[in-house]
Structure 1
């Protein structure tokens, strides 16, 4: 009896130990490098998964945690002069420091390091999702991630400082509407209202030059083009750690989302250019197709002339291409169009010795998830519906990601209609400020020096063939 009791006690103790081990396994989070946890769940998960559930077990879920409501372009608070002065001082200080976060973990920037330039305004919710997608991308630890801001916000800054998966840097556009609410490039008290008639403008002696549609400048529409051109000049020519950089710079925006193989595709496309398209100077990872099939198109890349309305999302080029574009800065800055992409197209069509051509993916690796912005206002700006669609597409095409070869499709050139411009950029002050960025991007540049460049600040006046390119060939 004693022996039987002892045996039962041993079995009970064994069961208790096993239960404890099982409990610990359930309680512990998944390993950070577990490929299943990197996807936020099982590979067999159905397409109808919930976005929040997808990230709740993922280390990147910290980027989605918010204590504040996301900012909206229509709810920018009015700042006091003291607050504006403080923001300007912070911008001056941070621009001078050129601090690179996580450099001690991932090493210094190399000449061929891929630089990802993200243009940021104030849409915090979208930015969180972009950062989550970047965190899940393979080889992201090899890049330099540069956030370029035209709105100073501590919640956004705090979010960026939590990034721990690559080298990170922040730059701040010094001539923002936030820091110049009552003076150019913001709205000055003496500016002509948008629909001012020529006779009225002459009588009131208001400031400004009408655009080709006879409208005077609206400050809120001019900032994006200024910021983009300043950012490009800053990154290519004015950041000290990039002085010897010859690699690609990939341009993203805060409301973009990337696939986990976007860097793999970027490198694959870059290696393919000499054989696939020697005249191509750009690579485009995104497109605006409403429907795409990864199973049939994951490896396909199209050779085409760069068109602003089709190829402005997730495109990349290097310093030598930038030098050609910068040499045409007057064409960019004087073109009467408040859109930077249409202005770049104008440079391509009127100034470059050879028009810009690009390799563009049929199945995108960069997606647009923004529902609200400068041009679009909706009651519900949530990115949930668009994100669900993107997640479903990527999950359905999971096995087709990271292809080892490309199929290059050559399409016949299409005649591009001459575009006269969308207007909104007729004011000589905008031309002068824009041109000044190609001379210097220093934040201490006095904005009144624009008068030297502009003169008076007051003015009234079907598939043809296919080629297979193998990885590493």
Structure 2
């Protein structure tokens, strides 16, 4: 009898063990589904009929998805797999400095508005940004510069299909894609992110002596964004032939932004009134991260306030004079232990010798919106690009009666506590001396002569 009882108990434990194992497998599979690359999830969503209904039929061409690439949008996107080929293509396009549609819309002038768009791999968002740009008044007088840190033929084809204004592509040449197993990518000899200092020294990994201020080691996927932004700004202001005498505004956008049709009108209005209302304002900004939008009240309102990175980093712009001020402190930007380019600019702003912090001339009724619910900093399991895009489309449509104001009313504020909180230390991720040196070296490249390359 005891033997039978023992066998019964053993069976119960075996069954319970198998059940627990099954639960663990199911949870693991579930988590794998929940946490798979949010960019893939976002791009698996086809553009909804609701979204298409608010896009003019002639612009549907920018939203067409080729079936063979319908579900791919991570860093494993289809395209040239040979790294050497990609590097050669990047070098060719960067050397050529080719401006598409220049024969139609004329050459770049010194006061041409340059719209610099930082692009990674989120193709669905990029499509809708392009659609919004296509509907903007006076877009044919601007130059769009798409700055890529991932070389992909589908993205390239989309950008080069733009027919409503001048377009240039520049390619960040130090990307993870082109350096997958060496710095600035991830070298297999690099220290693990969470290795303790003593452990890293024993491992003799390459960057053992350079953890960040929180004791962590670099992660290439995070450092790349700051490198790319800094390279792009240097490239546009200091290295392109077409910008050699440029004194106009450079507006910074990203692939997951969306613009209102009067955003260029507002840029001209802000620029023309800033000299009178705020001569000390270095930065113009069209985007804010508001929860609600009251265009009937704020459509023609402007706020003058201290610039803050997390509040005024969307749809903001400045000219060469401000860039030269930034360049005077490039060592501070490159040495600051923060992997975010915008917080690094904030640090620079708060530590300008003998000068106040950057002031921003800000649209209270935004003309640039953030549609990127999925991606780098947004890991949502239920990502649906169409839902957010549809909301923004409707918001812009409802705000139309309050667009194109003939004048603006400016109000100066000291900013809230968040505006004026002094950075005591960065967010980390930028302790590696190699990142700091690469950043600094980007400023040492001079203006490059345009090479004439035949494009088939």
- Shorter chain as denominator, the TM-score bin is 0.7 to 0.9
* TM-score between the two structures when normalised by the length of structure 1: 0.80
Cα separation, partners in 2 of 1:391 and 1:78, compared to 1, 3 Å:
closer
Gaps of 5+ in 1: 1-47, 444-473
Match of 2:227 in 1: 226
4+ residue segments displaced more than 6 Å? none
Report SS of the residue matched to 1:433.
helix
Q: Is the 8 A contact 1:71 1:123 kept in 2?
A: no
Q: Which residue matches 2:26?
A: none
Structure 1 residues 442 and 156: CA distance shift in structure 2, 3 A:
farther
Correspondence for 2:401: 399
Q: Which of residues 413, 416, 421 in structure 2 aligns to 1:417?
A: 421
- 1:128-160 Cα deviation digits (max 9, x unpaired): 000000000000000000000000000000001
Give the paired residue count.
393
Q: Secondary structure at the match of 2:362?
A: strand
Match of 2:265 in 1: 264
1:373-384 matches, cutoff 5 A: 373-384=375-386
Higher mean Cα deviation, 237-246 or 202-211?
A: 202-211
The Cα of 1:389 is off from its aligned counterpart by 1.5
Measure, in 1, the Cα distance between the counterparts of 2:75 and 2:113. Answer: 34
Q: Which string of whole-angstrom CA distances, capped at 9 and with x for unpartnered residues, describes residues 397-426 of structure 1? A: 211110001011122344522221100000
Structure 1 CA distance for aligned equivalents of residues 269 and 415 of structure 2: 24
State whether residues 309 and 341 of structure 1, in contact with CA within 8 Å, keep that contact through their aligned partners in structure 2.
yes
Which of the pair has more CA radius of gyration?
Answer: 1
| 1:83-134 residue CA offsets vs partner (Å, 9 max, x unmatched) | 1000000001111101000001111110000000000001100000000000
Aligned to 2:92, what secondary structure does the other structure show?
helix
Q: Kindly indicate whether the alpha-carbon contact (under 8 Å) linking 1:285 and 1:364 is maintained by their aligned counterparts in 2.
A: yes
- CA spacing shift, 1:284–1:291, aligned 2, 3 Å: same
* Counterpart secondary structure, 2:297: helix
* CA gap 1:197/1:399 in 2 versus in 1, 3 angstroms: same
**More off after superposition, 380-389 vs 416-425:** 380-389
Q: Distance in 1 between matches of 2:356 and 2:163?
A: 41
| Aligned with 1:429 (options 419, 427, 434) | 434
* Deviating more after overlay: 295-304 vs 194-203: 194-203
SS at match of 2:231: helix
Q: How does 1:96-115 map to 2 (within 5 A)?
A: 96-115=95-114
For residues 271 and 426 of structure 2, what CA distance do their matches in structure 1 show? 31
User: 3-state DSSP class of the match of 1:310?
Assistant: coil
Instruction: Report the CA distance between 1:394 and its aligned residue.
Output: 1.5
> Is contact 2:77–2:152 with CA below 8 Å preserved after alignment?
no
* C-alpha RMSD over aligned residues: 1.8
Match of 1:15 in 2: none
**Which stretches in structure 2 are left out of the alignment for 5+ residues?**
1-47, 449-456
Q: Using CA pairs under 8 Å that are at least 6 residues apart, name the structure with larger relative contact order, 1 or 2.
A: 2
Residues 413/369 of structure 1: CA separation in 2 closer, same or farther (3 Å cut):
closer
Kept in 2, the 8 Å contact 1:230–1:441? The answer is: no
User: Distance between the aligned counterparts of 1:87 and 1:441, measured in 2?
Assistant: 24
Q: Deviations over 1:5-33 (max 9, x none)?
A: xxxxxxxxxxxxxxxxxxxxxxxxxxxxx
CA contact (8 A) 1:71 1:122 kept: no
Alignment of 1:196 with 2:201, yes or no, is no
Q: Quote the residue 2:45 is aligned against.
A: none
SS at match of 2:409: strand
How far apart, in 1, do the equivalents of 2:242 and 2:326 lie? 22
Call closer, same or farther: CA 1:78–1:94 in 2, change over 3 Å: closer
Distance in 2 (CA, whole Å) between partners of 1:381 and 1:232 is 31
**CA 1:75–1:89 in structure 2 vs 1: closer, same or farther (change >3 Å)?**
closer
What's the secondary structure of 1:405's corresponding residue?
Answer: coil
